[in-house]
Amino acid sequence: MTAINPARSDQPGRPAASLTPVAVAAGDGIGPEILAATRTILDAAGAPLDYHAIVVGEQAYLQGLTSGVPDAAWDVLRRTGVLLKGPITTPKGGGWKSVNVTLRKTLGLFANVRPCVSYAPFVQGVPGMDVVVVRENEEDLYAGIEHRQTQEVVQCLKIVSRTGCARIARYAFAYARAHGRKKVTSVAKDNIMKLTDGLFARTCAEVAKEYPEIAYEHQIVDIGTARVAVRPKDYDVIVTMNLYGDILSDVAAEVAGSIGLAPSANIGAKAAMFEAIHGSAPDIAGKDLANPSGLLLSAVQMLVHLGHTDVAARIQNAWLRTLEDGVHTAEVFRAGASARKVGTRAFADAVCERLGQLPQRLPAAAFRPTPASTLAPVAAPAPQHKELVGVDVFVQSDLTPDALAARLRSLGATKLPLEMISNRGVKVWPNGQPETWCTDHWRCRYRRTDKQPITFADVLALLAAAHGHGVEVVKTEQLYEFDGAPGFSLGQGQ
Ligand code: NAD
């Protein structure tokens, strides 16, 4: 990390050289209020940080910047390597990309770590719950590659890499080992998506063998999420894919008490970003109602990441004591159980007043620095022999399955005969079922029937013939075998 210009420090009276530079972005909606409250507490606790403000999100969008991240912000991020960020409003509709996803992916923040802890009986939630969700942060449907292909059909590509799976699995197990955790549960939908989710599940099982002292289990995402909701104490560390982790961690945070309390750390090899898991809450913005705890606990994670573990514990313990004393913001306040309902600013003041105190009933915080082993590089797998064996040609058509098959079989592609047609994944030719409802988007599978080699030129000849016969091709996917094993799934019903 390059040293940052000390002249830019915004902590008057403290020499910037003794401070760790961090970028801060207030974000949108409640962002400025909860960041101000968090800064009040950090400053009162003596956090040795040198803050460098950047602007990302709505203000950048309003200036016409579709990415939401100005060049000047990238410069600061590159120099500090650490960002404390308020929530960002993502404008609805096309043309705008999510700043959160852009930051996570551009900075290579592959691991999203979301502790979901119950503070019962002081905050309503399941007593004893202490689950850490480790969410893969860069791949899956969040690759954001979407296309409209026909009048009827749009698609979103689910991109999953072997290295991405190995890296997040290893992070989760190394995290469990470093923090004295006992069990890792991997969660995916590998019974349906056998290639993508299957790769994730298999990789987790392989990595688990390197950590024999940590119990390992795998669950399908639907039952896994349901069980987190009703029996959260059965879980310790959960490692999962991007979309499932997004949903599952919100469920876990709500079960623990409130989404307003849950922090997150986005960790990469060269940078890290810390943010609450909730959004910009436009419904309560500017009303001094927001709970700053999610962002405050994210700042605590940031201090631990930077090695400032003592000040992190000092803040966390004062915050726990504040909860115990019943000083609560509106969304966790319960008449009879809480002592005082406070706004954002008064909550921050209450935490500051308790700096130096310990919780009396909840376990006091003591942090260990996160070891470098969580970021150990993943060795590249041995390359396998890759052989082209066919092609899936996606076409738009209003014909019936039999009529479409008749036209496609007349193309004269002798090396690549038509094997199957499916519609939305279900086989409709040969021997389709009359009950199957079909849309205008067809997957037509051409595959060699013998071991005769085929080349991309054969695929191009097939496509040219299809075009010449008036077939509207909207996309193709090559079919490969890797060391003789098919790198593609069967059609449903095939
Ligand atoms: P949200 O999390 O902003 O709000 C959901 C509900 O929780 C609202 O009723 C809100 O008032 C409440 N809430 C959230 N945070 C709170 C807090 N700190 N204290 C008290 N109550 C709180 O979710 P949403 O309404 O679906 O999204 C609003 C915007 O935020 C959208 O533009 C969305 O894209 C964005 N978003 C951003 C992030 C991020 O920046 N990491 C995450 C999620 C959503």
Q: What is the pLDDT of residue 85?
A: 96
Of 21, 33, 6, 39, the C-alpha closest to 285 is: 33
Q: How far apart are CA 142 and CA 361, in angstroms?
A: 41
Residue 377 carries which side chain, given as an amino acid letter? P
Q: What is the pTM of this model?
A: 0.90
163's enclosing H/E stretch is helix 162-178
Query: 279 CB less than 6 Å from ligand 1?
Result: yes
Check: CB of residue 42 under 8 Å from CB of residue 299.
yes
Res 455 pLDDT > 90:
yes
- Give one DSSP letter per residue of 171-196, joined into a string: HHHHHHHHTT--EEEEEE-TTT-TTH
Res 1 pLDDT > 50:
no
Percent of the chain with pLDDT over 70: 95
- Name the residue with the closest Cα to ligand 1, atom 27: 279
List the catalytic residues. Answer: 142, 189, 222, 246, 250
Q: How far apart are CA 431 and CA 334, in angstroms?
A: 62
Atom of ligand 1 nearest to the CA of 89: 32
Residues ≥6 apart with Cβ < 8 Å to 62: none
Q: What is the pLDDT of residue 191?
A: 94
Of 131, 105, 258, the C-alpha closest to 187 is: 131
Check: CB of residue 40 under 8 Å from CB of residue 100.
no
Q: What is the pLDDT of residue 378?
A: 82
Of 477, 307, 489, the C-alpha closest to 394 is: 477
- Residue 340: CB atoms within 10 A of its CB come to 12
Query: 343 CB less than 6 Å from ligand 1?
Result: no
Average pLDDT, the chain: 91
Query: 280 CB less than 6 Å from ligand 1?
Result: yes
Per-residue pLDDT tens digits for 322-354? 999 999 999 999 998 899 999 999 999 999 999
Say if residue 372 is exposed, middle or buried (CB neighbours under 10 Å; 0-12, 13-18, 19+). exposed
What is the Å distance from ligand 1's center to 304 Cα? 25
Q: What is the pLDDT of residue 494?
A: 77
Residue 481 carries which side chain, given as an amino acid letter? E
What is the Å distance from ligand 1's center to 487 Cα? 40
pLDDT-derived band at 8, boundaries 50, 70, 90: very low
Residues ≥6 apart with Cβ < 8 Å to 402: 429
Check: CB of residue 344 under 8 Å from CB of residue 37.
yes
Q: How far apart are CA 378 and CA 69, in angstroms?
A: 30
Angle 67-285-54 from CA coordinates, rounded to 5°: 40
pLDDT-derived band at 12, boundaries 50, 70, 90: low
What is the Å distance from ligand 1's center to 306 Cα? 27
Q: How far apart are CA 264 and CA 269, in angstroms?
A: 17
Of 148, 193, 156, 158, the C-alpha closest to 440 is: 148
Taking 3-state DSSP, the helix, strand and coil percentages for the chain, each rounded to the nearest 5, stand at: 35, 20, 40
Per-residue pLDDT tens digits for 55-98? 988 788 777 787 788 889 999 999 999 999 999 987 776 666 77
